[in-house]
Structure 1
């Protein structure tokens, strides 16, 4: 009887153990899932490792040492770096679109005989080509034909559309004839009606080089993409933080340096000494800034003001070529127009650097601007605004030099 009692007790114990086992396994699985959720939760400033502590006025919503997969996916979640990432990522796509748009608008030089034009018009344009080394392609020949018809009704009568029509059109629309007093033989088109300018300019202009303008656009895209990547990935590890911050500083230096290229090149393209002097100086200054930013101590929070001052000093070094440009071209409206854009750009960059260095407004209300509105986000918006202002100035430079070349220098 005792043996039977022991057997029954053992079976009951086993059944109880079996019944409890799924419950314990279930609790273990829930615990792992809960740990994963807690592990990837946003934390406060005081819980951060030392290398991630940069702004003590941003109190929460940090991503401390998350795995790379989670860090990449966090681009679509809300934390204190979300707007830092997207303000410059959107700016990058904006400048990528502007670069493509600008590239499509660059005229291409072609043989005049490949143009689909009436033979009499080709003969007349061939006469013009004799005074010009090259003739750029027209952007839209169908549009040009329509403009010719609207400008010269006799275009419908091809036999009567002779040399006289083209030369008479040029004589009446162009206050200045061809210029042989400079090395570029660029025809100067001034003070004409918009439709006539659109008609004649593509035929008469030999566009200048665009590389300084595209260098600026490349520098802007590199800066914006590097900054966005830095803010997204820097929380992963100390090593990656170091690399990303160096990339971010290099991007800022590249943007500032390449911003000088269009104004310096197009202002002094006919004065090689000053052109090379200014371009060489700002390039060397940009390289030196990148090298200094490689020093680990450069990232310490106490050097925030020094970092801002260094980049601000790079920007202020552009005052010299701008003043020089105004002295040389005081009589040119384009000089004043571009200077206005450059001053506005400097205001955007200067205010941005000041906000970055002083950490306004979060220093006034710590914790209130963790997600939106803190200084770094405002700094990003002002950088994009300044770069776009400089893009507009570059368009003025291109139009100016395309039309005039070195005339008046």
Structure 2
């Protein structure tokens, strides 16, 4: 009977079989062994308690009110929630890795006097550092960057978070030095090896704050882990289902809200009024959404469309700051670049919400997508794709503001 769906009729049949056992046989021992073989089998939709009936187009492979131990172990078995669990669990570990990677690549300000470098090189680096407070605007950046790249061949070996600072910050100091034919300085630069080049970028960099970016990464990880946990544990009991669903909705609201933090903060960091206005609005909207999701009626299947519309509305509220950003920074290529990523993220989230609300494709062929391919799994994949797209946009924002600060605002 392994691998098949079972209903309450199966349990009654087992009970009748136990009752017919000869009195010489230990009914208790035999019954326990027989029951252990079938009590954790998957059941069909019509055998579920009312609180577990969410999608009538998923016909089978449910885990009804299993003990917590078996529920936890079911993460490694096949049922209709297996891919729901793993799509977001894998996404959680992906964003955990991205967070660690980003944290390790965040440039640090280094005191050159604490470095074990030759005095001539310390002096050279000190001169480079001194010219940063008054960076002049230079029109021919690409030509100068090419000259710098030929001067420091090892520049391409630097991590991306450091490379852009070496390429775009040092060019303001180097042309004057080249124009004066200071061969000593040129030779010093030419002789820098990869380890020294890796030290230059942190020396030159005064990085902007990273908290909005890490707030987004934290919101993404919370959402993905909460969703994965919800899909794994909700079948245990009605009480746990209630708690897990609220956690899941809170995670979605947290992801949407924190997704606004990098674009709003880095776009309007030099305009505190609009920065605080947009950040405050989306934060209040996220809190309000979480509070609404605490209402018991919010989890009923008939409110599926309302749930999707509420979260979709949160996402659409980001149109205003994006348009505002484009108006302010139309001349900046980074504004267009980040907007492209944000539009793509919105497409992923929007299609995911639409699929979630309409329950496509399982409504077309009920029972055919019970294990793989149903709407909630597709929704999960699109959420991870959208969040990763937003991560890429965040990197563009960091590079933009690290290099320019508030110049041009």
Do they superpose with TM above 0.5?
yes
1:25, CA displacement in angstroms? 3.4
Q: Report the 3-state secondary structure (helix = DSSP H, G, I; strand = E; otherwise coil) of the residue aligned with 2:184.
A: coil
Is this contact kept in 2: 1:322–1:339, CA < 8 A? Answer: yes
Note closer, same or farther for the CA distance 1:14–1:279 as it changes in structure 2 (3 Å cut).
Answer: closer
Distance 1:6 1:336 in 2: 56
Residue in structure 1 matched with residue 230 of structure 2 by the alignment: 230
TM-score, structure 1 normalization:
0.81
1:127, CA displacement in angstroms? 2.9
Q: Report the 3-state secondary structure (helix = DSSP H, G, I; strand = E; otherwise coil) of the residue aligned with 1:362.
A: coil
1:103-146 C-alpha deviation (Å, 9 max, x unpaired): 00011122111123221121122234445579999999999999
**In terms of Rg, which structure is larger?**
1
1:210, CA displacement in angstroms? 0.5
Distance 1:394 1:248 in 2: 24
Distance 1:271 1:11 in 2: 67
Distance 1:401 1:3 in 2: 56
Note closer, same or farther for the CA distance 1:173–1:32 as it changes in structure 2 (3 Å cut).
Answer: same
Structure 1 stretch displaced more, 143-152 or 258-267: 143-152
Note closer, same or farther for the CA distance 1:262–1:181 as it changes in structure 2 (3 Å cut).
Answer: farther
Note closer, same or farther for the CA distance 1:268–1:393 as it changes in structure 2 (3 Å cut).
Answer: same
Distance 1:310 1:39 in 2: 39
1:214-255 C-alpha deviation (Å, 9 max, x unpaired): 000000000000000000000000000000000000000000
Note closer, same or farther for the CA distance 1:147–1:64 as it changes in structure 2 (3 Å cut).
Answer: farther
Note closer, same or farther for the CA distance 1:191–1:240 as it changes in structure 2 (3 Å cut).
Answer: farther
Note closer, same or farther for the CA distance 1:261–1:323 as it changes in structure 2 (3 Å cut).
Answer: same
Is this contact kept in 2: 1:216–1:258, CA < 8 A? Answer: yes
Note closer, same or farther for the CA distance 1:86–1:164 as it changes in structure 2 (3 Å cut).
Answer: closer
Distance 1:157 1:308 in 2: 45
Structure 1 stretch displaced more, 234-243 or 27-36: 27-36
Note closer, same or farther for the CA distance 1:153–1:407 as it changes in structure 2 (3 Å cut).
Answer: closer
1:206, CA displacement in angstroms? 1.1
Structure 1 stretch displaced more, 9-18 or 364-373: 9-18
Is this contact kept in 2: 1:95–1:221, CA < 8 A? Answer: yes
TM-score, structure 2 normalization:
0.81
Note closer, same or farther for the CA distance 1:346–1:179 as it changes in structure 2 (3 Å cut).
Answer: farther
Distance 2:2 2:149 in 1: 119
1:171-207 C-alpha deviation (Å, 9 max, x unpaired): 6886799999999999999999999997864442211
Structure 1 stretch displaced more, 123-132 or 353-362: 123-132
1:54-79 C-alpha deviation (Å, 9 max, x unpaired): 00000000000000000000000000
Distance 1:203 1:162 in 2: 10
Is this contact kept in 2: 1:109–1:136, CA < 8 A? Answer: no
Q: Report the 3-state secondary structure (helix = DSSP H, G, I; strand = E; otherwise coil) of the residue aligned with 1:177.
A: helix
1:284, CA displacement in angstroms? 0.3
1:254-293 C-alpha deviation (Å, 9 max, x unpaired): 0000000000000001111000000000000000000000
Note closer, same or farther for the CA distance 1:388–1:155 as it changes in structure 2 (3 Å cut).
Answer: closer
Is this contact kept in 1: 2:18–2:27, CA < 8 A? Answer: no
Structure 1, unmatched stretches of 5+, are: none
Distance 1:371 1:277 in 2: 45
Is this contact kept in 2: 1:112–1:135, CA < 8 A? Answer: no
Note closer, same or farther for the CA distance 1:355–1:6 as it changes in structure 2 (3 Å cut).
Answer: closer
Structure 2, unmatched stretches of 5+, are: none
Note closer, same or farther for the CA distance 1:159–1:270 as it changes in structure 2 (3 Å cut).
Answer: closer
Q: Report the 3-state secondary structure (helix = DSSP H, G, I; strand = E; otherwise coil) of the residue aligned with 1:133.
A: helix
Structure 1 stretch displaced more, 70-79 or 153-162: 153-162
Structure 1 stretch displaced more, 7-16 or 110-119: 7-16
1:39, CA displacement in angstroms? 1.2
Structure 1 stretch displaced more, 128-137 or 47-56: 128-137
1:4, CA displacement in angstroms? 58
Is this contact kept in 1: 2:212–2:265, CA < 8 A? Answer: yes
Residue in structure 2 matched with residue 377 of structure 1 by the alignment: 377
Residue in structure 1 matched with residue 166 of structure 2 by the alignment: 166
1:295, CA displacement in angstroms? 0.2
Is this contact kept in 1: 2:144–2:171, CA < 8 A? Answer: no
Note closer, same or farther for the CA distance 1:174–1:405 as it changes in structure 2 (3 Å cut).
Answer: farther
Distance 2:7 2:230 in 1: 68
Structure 1's consecutive aligned runs of 4 or more residues displaced over 6 angstroms after TM superposition are 1-23, 133-150, 152-169, 175-199
Distance 2:12 2:165 in 1: 113
RMSD of the TM alignment (CA)? Answer: 11.8
